Chains A and B, each alone.
Chain A
Amino acid sequence: MSAPTTIVRPPSAPGPLRWLRKNLFSTWYNALLTVLALALIYFVGKGVIRWAFFEANWDPVRYSLKLFAVGQYPPEQIWRIGLILVLASFLFGLSARVWGGTIRNFALALAVALGALALLPADLSPLGPTGRLWLAAAPLLAVGGYLLGFTPVGKGRWALLGWLLSFVLMIVLLNGVGGISWLPRIDTSLWGGLLLTFLLAMVGIVGCFPFGVLLALGRRSSLPVVRLFCIAFIETVRGVPLVTILFMFSIILPLFLPEEIRVDRVVRAMLGMTFFASAYMAENVRGGLQAIPRGQFEAAKALGLNGFQTTALIVLPQALRLVIPAIVGQFIALFMDTTLAYIVGLTELLTVGKIVLQSNTEWLFLDMEVFLFVAAVFWLFTYSMSYASRRLERALGVGSR
């Protein structure tokens, strides 16, 4: 063979026309589909735009933004939520430096979004000057946290410890402490909106983690009795809907406890979320445990580690790293599941929508506007989280190692 025949002509540059022909008009039925799809987009798009900009009445959303954000949290105490936001931004900044990658992108997006909200022109912004200040402080603190990451504090364990401590601090801040005049207790019935939605999901995921790990270990235990209890719990909880669990905790839990113990309504819902989530967390963790090769157990045993040490030092650290994406996915699912708190009467985001509709007789029929707004808020958070988690999966190299 002569050399020139093996030279392949380089593919010609993909011009827009070529792209169109390849992707939209490759065959006659594809061309037909394209035309139909274009017609669909045109009519749906026209209808949506006309409705959203000319027919819809967005007043109930515009005048209730505070209610949607924090519920009926007393206005003079909103600085606490500002402080929490700033604290979280600071920790995000620190984590961005410590872990980098997706978390850095996420922190950056958060800082930019908060900064943009703070700089919104006055006639569009629902915030007062103090609210703006808090929002403007958040990105600055995030930068501060990032810079702190360069000092010896910038270690994974410090950031993790910071998150755990501040999680407790945040809840104390929200709830207040009885007896301190500048930090009065705020009844949980006043917590609401997006704040409550986030809180329920966070408490659920953090609270279910230890139980999930224990249940997963128990399910793989060599002790038949322990295994049986764990399987029974996990499969029962996974077999019933979350509504029934939340209902159980809100109505039945008081019956299960002695008469003198009274549990707050929001706390009952949190317990319900935790209870429900731990069964799913257990299955996630079990997936990670199963992925650890037998050789790891055997090597640990050969080194003289006992069962507890093998689990705590060898198996769990590897397994948990594997299940991080699954945990993020579970958090997203839990975040969406918080809407079910509506059914047990908590004022989370969706319930606020219902309340807003009934708060003004002129708004009674604006269901479409209000619920689409709620849907859009959920979508924004969930989509950005699942996008970040997909990036995270790629960064951790799950499935490709």
Chain B
Amino acid sequence: MSQRAQSAGTTIPFWRDERVIKGVAQVISAIVVIGALAFFVGNVIRAANARGLGLGYGFLRDASGMPLGESVIPYDPSKSYAYAFLVGILNTLKAALLGIVLATILGTVTAVARLSSNWLVSKIASVYIEIIRNVPLLVQLFVWYFAVFQKLPPVRESIQLPGSVYLSQRGLYIPRPVPMSTFWTWLLLTAIAMVLAIVLYTTLTRYRLQTGRTTYAELVAAAVLVLIPLAGWFLPGERPLTLELPEMGRFNFSGGLRLTPEYAAMVTGLVVYTGAFIAEVVRAGILAVDRGQFEAARAMGLKNIQVLRLVVFPQAMRVIIPPLISQYLNLTKNSSLAVGIGYVDLFYVGRTIINQAGQAVPVFVMVMATYLLMSLITSIILNIYNRRIQLVER
């Protein structure tokens, strides 16, 4: 046709040139996005100026004047806002780290129970999972905090659990490990033992692979890892760590470590909630390993424990790690619900600073950036690990 003849002979007009269209589209979208951002930021600056507030971060050096319920580092209201913010970050990490460790343990145990050949045990595990996963976390935190930890008896009538653990309205008192003079030497010794064990294990394994002789690499490494620290613990006259037990005084406990009811409720809630999700992740991972793998491993004469350690576990980990990463991230982000039960976490401190200093936007940017940074760091670390254990395709 004539059209075709035309386009074959002449060059494409610029409004139909794909490169031009793409370039223009990008410029337009950039203008729209940047324009919208500029509009919002302009409004913020205008509003801030109208109220006589700057948008800088200078106020962070001012004394905060706000009391905080708990802190990992020494804190009092004369410290600066920046320092209070740091307290919030540390409190969030304190809840998230313990939560991650305990939730992983609970999740793994639940997954194993869920896969148990015992019908009753498996049903109990699945009832736990189905109840917990279908109730919002904030509701669960309310139950833990307002209905459980706040309803505990007063200090005088504390519930005593085995191992000098006391539960009362004022929180959870547990024995506190106190490092003695020999502690740091002992820690160094343990670190050396750990390095030695790893070195021994790798060399012995390499030797076994090269020569085919039995070397008992695991046994030797385990012996080094256990015996050296044990010797360091018992041989000197003084133990490197002693436990300071909480003792009932006239009105309150003295000694021991106190976990506030807010912290206890926060961690309990996070662990019980995330544990149910991790259980499903771990279960899916174990089920993803083909039955044939078990059978083949058994046919090759591996023992039960070897089948798990050498065949099932490495393959299951590949499936488990990516969703596990997102569960850990969820837990960290969910710790922001602490504000609902008054645990002094990052978000709580940020909100208090906003109320106190009136600097909504700068503080808010700091809070968001901190959460983003935490998400980013976690996912980078776990992604590196994940890349190492992924299947190498030939």
Interface residue ranges, A against B (CB under 8 Å): 23-24, 26, 30, 33-34, 37-38, 40-41, 222-226, 229, 236, 238-244, 247-248, 251-252, 255-259, 336-340, 342-343, 350, 353, 365, 367-368, 371-372, 374-375, 378-379, 382-383, 386
Name 11 extra pairs, CB < 8 A, besides A24-B119, A240-B375, A338-B136: A34-B118, A239-B372, A240-B371, A244-B364, A251-B364, A255-B43, A343-B340, A367-B143, A368-B143, A371-B147, A382-B134
A sample of 26 inter-chain contacts (CB < 8 A) reads A23-B119, A24-B118, A34-B118, A34-B121, A37-B118, A37-B124, A223-B22, A223-B29, A226-B26, A239-B372, A239-B376, A241-B347, A244-B347, A251-B360, A255-B44, A256-B40, A337-B136, A338-B136, A340-B337, A343-B337, A343-B339, A367-B146, A374-B142, A379-B135, A383-B134, A386-B134
Residues of A within 8 A of B118 (CB): 23-24, 26, 30, 33-34, 37
Kindly report which residue of chain A lies nearest to residue B376, judged by CB atoms. A239
Is B120 an interface residue when CB atoms closer than 8 A count as contact? yes
Give the distance in Å from the alpha carbon of A224 to the alpha carbon of B27 in the complex. 11
- B167 contacts the other chain (Cβ, under 8 Å)? no
Closest-CB distance, A350 to chain B (whole angstroms): 6
B336 within 8 A of A: yes
Give the interface residue-count category, chain B: 35 or more
Q: Which of A38, A367, A375 contacts B120 (CB 8 A)?
A: A38
B208 to chain A, nearest CB (A): 34
Question: For the complex, is B157 an interface residue (Cβ under 8 Å from A)?
Answer: no
Determine whether the beta carbon of A255 is less than 8 Å from that of B29: no
Contact of A243 with B339 in the complex, beta carbons under 8 Å: yes
Decide: A339 and B121 in contact? CB cutoff 8 A: no
Chain B residues near A223: list those with CB within 8 A: 22, 25-26, 29
Q: Known contacts being A24-B118, A244-B336, A256-B43, is A379 close to B138, with CB within 8 Å?
A: no
CB contacts (< 8 Å) of A338 on chain B: these are 136
CB distance from A237 to the nearest CB of B (A): 10
Nearest chain A CB to B150 CB, angstrom units: 7
B135 touches A382 (CB 8 A): yes
- Scan residues 96-133 of chain B and give those whose CB is less than 8 A from a CB of chain A: 116-121, 124, 130-131
Cβ-defined partner of B130 (8 Å) among A38, A226, A241, A383: A383
Q: Contact at A368–B151, with CB atoms within 8 Å? A: yes
Closest partner residue, chain B, to A20 (CB atom): B119
- The verdict on B310 contacting chain A, using a C-beta distance below 8 Å, is no
For the complex formed, measure the closest distance between the CB of A368 and the CB atoms of chain B, giving whole angstroms. Answer: 4
Cα A242 to Cα B347 with chains together (Å):
11
CB nearest neighbor in B for A19: B119
Q: Are A239 and B337 in contact (CB under 8 A)?
A: no
**B139 within 8 Å of A (CB atoms):** yes
B138 touching A340 by the CB < 8 A rule? yes
Smallest Cβ distance from B147 to chain A, in angstroms?
4
Instruction: State the Cβ distance, B394 to closest chain A Cβ, in Å.
Output: 24
Roughly how many angstroms separate A12 CA and B26 CA in the complex, as a whole number?
Answer: 71
CB contacts (< 8 Å) of A252 on chain B: these are: 360-361, 364
For residue A33, which residues in chain B have a CB less than 8 angstroms away from its CB?
116, 118, 120-121
Cβ A37 vs Cβ B146 within 8 A: no
Cα distance, A375 to B269, chains bound together (Å): 14
Cα A372 to Cα B136 with chains together (Å):
12
Residues of B within 8 A of A238 (CB): 375
Contact with A along B207-244 (1 / 0, CB 8 A): 00000000000000000000000000000000000000
- CB–CB A378/B135 < 8 A: yes
Q: Which residues of A contact B340 (CB under 8 A)?
A: 342-343
Partner of B22, one of A222, A247, A255, A375: A222
Bitwise, B144-184 to A at CB < 8 A (1) or not (0) is 00111011000000000000000000000000000000000
Q: Are B124 and A41 in contact (CB under 8 A)?
A: yes
Residues of B with C-beta under 8 A to A259 = 47, 50
- Chain A residues closer than 8 Å to B116, beta-carbon distance: 33
In the complex, whether B1 has a CB less than 8 A from a CB of chain A is no
Q: Which residues in window 43-80 of B have CB below 8 A to A?
A: 43-44, 47-48, 50
B-side contacts of A336, CB under 8 Å? 134-137
Residue of B nearest to A384 (CB): B134
CB of B38, distance to nearest CB on chain A (Å): 12
B368 at the interface (CB under 8 A from A): yes
Residues of B within 8 A of A242 (CB): 333
A257 to B333, Cβ gap below 8 A?
A: no
Q: Which of B10-43 contact A (CB under 8 A)?
A: 22, 25-27, 29-30, 33, 40, 43
Contacts A33-B116, A371-B143; A240 near B138 (Cβ below 8 A) = no
Q: How distant is B99 from chain A, measured CB to nearest CB, in Å? A: 14
- The answer to whether A371 and B334 touch (CB under 8 A), given A24-B118, A226-B26, A244-B347, is no
**With the chains together, A223 CA to B18 CA distance in Å?**
11
CB-based contact A229/B142 at 8 Å:
no
- In the complex, residue of chain A having the shortest beta-carbon distance to the beta carbon of B150: A367
Q: How far is the CA of A232 from the CA of B107 in the complex (A)?
A: 32
B351 within 8 A of A: yes
CA distance A257 to B40 in the complex (A): 6
Closest chain A residue to B146, Cβ basis:
A367
The answer to whether A248 and B142 touch across the interface, beta carbons within 8 angstroms, is no
Contacts of A38 in B (CB 8 A): 120
Does A371 lie within 8 Å of B146, measured CB to CB? yes
List of A residues within 8 angstroms of B25 by Cβ = 223, 226
Closest to A374 in B: B139
Q: A252-B364, A340-B337, A368-B151 are in contact. Are A379 and B131 (CB under 8 A)?
A: yes
Could you tell me the distance between the alpha carbons of A221 and B82 in the complex, rounded to whole angstroms?
41
Residue B367 CB within 8 A of the other chain: yes
Chain A to chain B: the 5 pairs with minimum beta-carbon distance, closest first: A23-B119, A368-B147, A336-B136, A225-B26, A367-B147
Q: What is the bound-complex CA distance between A223 and B340, given in angstroms?
A: 43
Q: Which residues does chain B contribute within 8 Å of A23, judged by CB atoms?
A: 117-120
Which residues of B are found within 8 Å of A343, using beta-carbon distances?
Answer: 337, 339-340
Q: Which residues of B contact A386 (CB under 8 A)?
A: 134
Does the CB pair A378–B33 fall under 8 Å? no
Contact A26 B117 (CB under 8 A): yes
In angstroms, Cα B376 to Cα A79, docked, is 50
Q: Which residues of A contact B364 (CB under 8 A)?
A: 244, 247-248, 251-252
Shortest Cβ distance from A142 into chain B, in angstroms? 25
In the complex, are the beta carbons of A229 and B43 less than 8 A apart? no
> In whole Å, how far is A179's beta carbon from the nearest beta carbon of chain B?
32
A241-B29 Cα distance, complex, nearest whole Å: 28
User: Is the Cβ of B26 less than 8 Å from the Cβ of A224?
Assistant: yes
Q: A38-B120, A368-B143 are in contact. Are A226 and B135 (CB under 8 A)?
A: no
In the complex the two chains form, is B367's CB within 8 Å of A244's CB?
yes
Contact of B372 among A236, A251, A353, A367 (CB under 8 A): A236
Q: State A386–B135 Cα separation when bound (angstroms).
A: 12
